Every structure is written in structure tokens, then in C-alpha cells.
Amino acid sequence: MKKEKVIPIDSLDLVDLYIRVSTTEQALEGYSVAEQEHRLRQYCAAMGHRIHKVHIDAGFSGASLDRPGIKETIKDVQKHLVRRVIVWKLDRLSRSQKDTLIMLEDVFLENGCDFISMMESFDTSTSFGRAIVGILAAFAQLERENIKERTMMGRQARLAKGHYNGSRPPLGYSFIPGSNDLQVDPYQAAIVREIFKLFLSGISINAIARKMEEKYPTVRTWNNTMIRRTLKNPVYIGKVNDNGILRDGIHEPLISEIDFQMANAILVHNSKIKKQSCRSRSLLTGLLYCGDCGARMHPRRIARGYPLRRYVCYSVSRTSKSMIKSDHCTNRLHPYTQEELEQIIIDEIKKLAADEDYISEVIRNSSAEAPVDDTELFQERIEELNRQTDKLLNLYQIGAIELDQIQERLAALKQERESLTAAMKESQTKTDINMDHLKIMSYASAFQVALESGDPEYTNSIIRLLIDKIVVLNEDIEIHWTFC
């Protein structure tokens, strides 16, 4: 239960007089200290108030509460030494509406002290005085909303001009003294470049986080989220994020756009395959597809009690109902054990590491077609859907049609528009991750190192940088490389 504030009996009739005057006001308007004190003492005599103290701020502006006299007045109120505080005019207390409200609500009323302004007949002990406090509070709220709106407008204007907006600089940068603009921190910038280099060389996010924690324990709190956020942050290619819209920033980039796009394409690729394959001991889990029905393939023992395993189509094994694609799959005859099939793929990757001409041959023989950019088609259809929606709403507004007659059609248009918007966004985020020969050879070499290290997570991560999927139909094997 909240305790009621107890006011000492001795203070029930005591009042503080507060007087403020600036030099300009005294010269132009005659608000002298002596004149104010004379009138306030006359008022107290007429009303029967006993004066506790007179607090004077001579030569102080009313724009701030940083005044010795008002601070002493506040102390008296908080110690419950007085029952009332009296001023000659309301603006003697403060010329700031916000400060006035703070004094009324958080100092005077909070401590059971009334406030009286003699010239305006303003007295918080009356119902009218309390109503005025409510009005002041409403205006103060309006001012806070206006400040918030102006702040937001200023933020948007800064972003539109390429200025960074944030309370803390991202890794690799520091704030230019006196502003929120970014300048390169050479030491941290080298760490950012190292993170991208490690990731593009096939090192997993987990391994990078551990490495950063070992080398730079005091720079940041290193974890998977921190590494992933760094790899996704467009500030490193000289961009600022304006509510999802990337704008050219005025700061210096740390990473080339090619490396940034490559890293984010790999993140997207890895997110699609999730961690299913990484958790499996089988090298090709998540990459193998049946050439007949299109279902995934998984490792399974050839026979009970028999140690050898081979990759089998889910439509054939029927071990997972959700993975079955056909009731009549014919892909039952491929002769490879799990070990043999994996070794075939390993040998193909080793060729990439050893022979640049072989890479060229693989690319020439690839039948993969370049991805089609459907963004323009999506946009045209969305615009058409918007036009149809506008026509229906216009017919409704002029009374030519009832709302229940168009609700179903409007819902269908909205659903199609949302589907197209999602498809267009996905199409735009698909990044071409074509690699040059040196990059392919470096990945292939890293794969061999991963195999020798015995780290299954590292090995699975590297192989998925090179191979998109593998299609097996009986004895035929078709590798779909990511760089073709």
C-alpha cells in the first residue's frame, strides 16, 4: 500500500516566495526584485500566510531550471518545510512549458504543496488550478509528439543523404568526433575483412566465431549471431539502410560488392539446406536426388546385419511418407555403395583443385541455363492488380456496386498481389555466385584439407560451396555445380 505523505504541522501555514528576474526584463518591463517581493509580501499579509523564506534568482533566464534559487525552493518542498510556493507571475517559475509542468506535477503536487501565481490567480489548491495543470500536460504531450516527429524527419533526411544512423558504430568503424558519421577504424576494419575472407574460403560461422574469440576477445562478444550480422551488414559496401531501402552512404566501404554478394549468396544457399546435412555423418546427404521421381536420397543398409550402405531414393525405401514423390519409382538398380558414390564425388572435386583446364571443360559441358529475371513481369502484373483494385473501389465509392459484391474479388486480388510481391523479393535476393577459376580451385583445395582434418561440419560446408545437387539414376551420375 502506498504511504500518504505526512506534512509537518509547523509547515501548514508556511510559504516560500520565489522571485526571478533577468537583466533585460528588469530594464524593459520593470520586473525588479524589490517590486516583486513587495507585492508578494502584501499578498501574504492579506491572505494570512507566514513566509518561510524568500528565494531569489537575479539575472537568470527562465529557459532552464539550472538556477540556485529554484533549487533551494525545490529542496524546501521536498522536505515538506512549506505548504505553498507563491510567485508573482507564472513565467517567473519558468518560461519552458515542459519545465513548468514538471515543477507542478513532479515537485509541488507530488509533495502535497500548492502553487500560487498571484497575477493569473492560479492556485493548484482549487479545481480550476488543477484543470489548468491537465491542460498544460496535454500541450506538453503534443510538444513531445512534435519533437518525436521532427526527430524522425531529421533521421530520414540524414539517411537520404547517406549519413549513418545508429547509437553505436558497427564493427570496423568509429564515429567522427561530434557527429554520427562513420570513419574507418583500421584495426577493426582488418577484423571485418578477415571474417569475410574466412567465410569465403569455406570456414563455418561457428569456426569463425571461435577464431575471433581466441584472437580478439576484447573487441566484441563473439558468437554466431555476431558473425552472421557482420556478413549481412550492407554498411561494409558503403550503404546505409533506410527502412529496407539501401542508399549510398558517405562513409568508406570495407568490402568489395562482389565479396559481399558472394558471402550473402552462400548464406542463402546454406539456409535452404539447413543443418540436416551438416548433422549427418553422410557426406552427400541433402545433395542427392533421384533421377526418376525427383525425391531425395538417403543412406541405408543394403540388408539387415550387412555392414555396407548405399544411398536409396525415399520413394523406394518408403521410410518417410512426406519424402515420397512417386509410387512407381524405377531407380532401384544403381550399383554404388555409399562409400563408392562418395569417392566418385571426392575424385571429381580433386580434379578441380589440380587442373584448371578441367574446370573450363566442366563449365563448357554444363547444360545449366542462366536464371531468368522475372522481376519486370512481376512488377507489371502487380501494377495491373493495383489498377483492378482501384477500379473496384471507385465503383463502390460512387455507389455503382455494393461492398459485398466486390469483397471476394478484392481478397483474391490482394492474395495474388502478396504472392507476387514475395516471389519478386525472392527473385531479387537470388544472387549469381559465378566464381572465377582461382576461387573454384581454392574451394576444391580447402575441401581436401577439410577431409583430412576429419571435421564433418567443415567438409559439408565446403562441398556445398561447389555442388548444388547430384542426380543419380541407376548407374548414371550428374553433378550440378554451383559455378555453372
Backbone torsions φ then ψ of 318, nearest 5 degrees: 55, 35
pLDDT score at 154: 63
22 classed as catalytic: yes
pLDDT score at 232: 92
Scan for cell 542462366, then name that residue: 370
Are 161 and 250 in contact, with CB atoms under 8 Å apart? yes
- The class that CATH gives domain 173-273 is alpha beta
Give the three cell numbers for residue 422. Answer: 514475395
Q: CA–CA separation, 46 vs 43, rounded Å?
A: 5
pLDDT tens readout for residues 386-396: 888 878 777 76
Decide if pLDDT at 140 tops 90: no
DSSP-based three-state secondary structure for 477? strand
pLDDT score at 273: 55
Q: CA–CA separation, 400 vs 446, rounded Å?
A: 69
Q: CA–CA separation, 302 vs 56, rounded Å?
A: 98
For CA atoms 132, 138, 141, 145, give the dihedral sign: negative
Q: How far is CA 407 from the centre of its chain?
A: 36
Task: Please state whether beta strands 288-290 and 467-473 pair in parallel, antiparallel, or not at all (unpaired).
Answer: parallel
Is 271 or 71 the better-scoring residue by pLDDT?
A: 71
Name the catalytic one among 22, 117, 204, 277: 22
Q: CA–CA separation, 309 vs 338, rounded Å?
A: 5
Q: CA–CA separation, 447 vs 466, rounded Å?
A: 9
pLDDT score at 151: 64
Give the three cell numbers for residue 69. Answer: 534559487
Average pLDDT over every residue of 135-157 = 67
Cut 0.75: pTM above it: no
pLDDT tens readout for residues 319-369: 888 888 888 898 887 788 888 999 999 999 988 888 888 888 887 776 444
Q: CA–CA separation, 18 vs 124, rounded Å?
A: 16
- The class that CATH gives domain 9-141 is alpha beta
- The neighbouring-strand residues paired with 479 are 470
Task: Please state whether beta strands 173-175 and 114-117 pair in parallel, antiparallel, or not at all (unpaired).
Answer: unpaired
Average pLDDT over every residue of 409-418 = 79
Supply the DSSP symbol for 296: B
Are 457 and 464 in contact, with CB atoms under 8 Å apart? no
pLDDT tens readout for residues 161-180: 778 887 789 999 999 888 88
pLDDT score at 303: 67
Name the burial class of residue 393, with classes exposed (0-12), middle (13-18) and buried (19+) by CB atoms within 10 angstroms of its CB. middle
Which of the four pLDDT bands, split at 50, 70 and 90, describes residue 286?
A: confident
Are 154 and 217 in contact, with CB atoms under 8 Å apart? no
Q: CA–CA separation, 206 vs 219, rounded Å?
A: 18
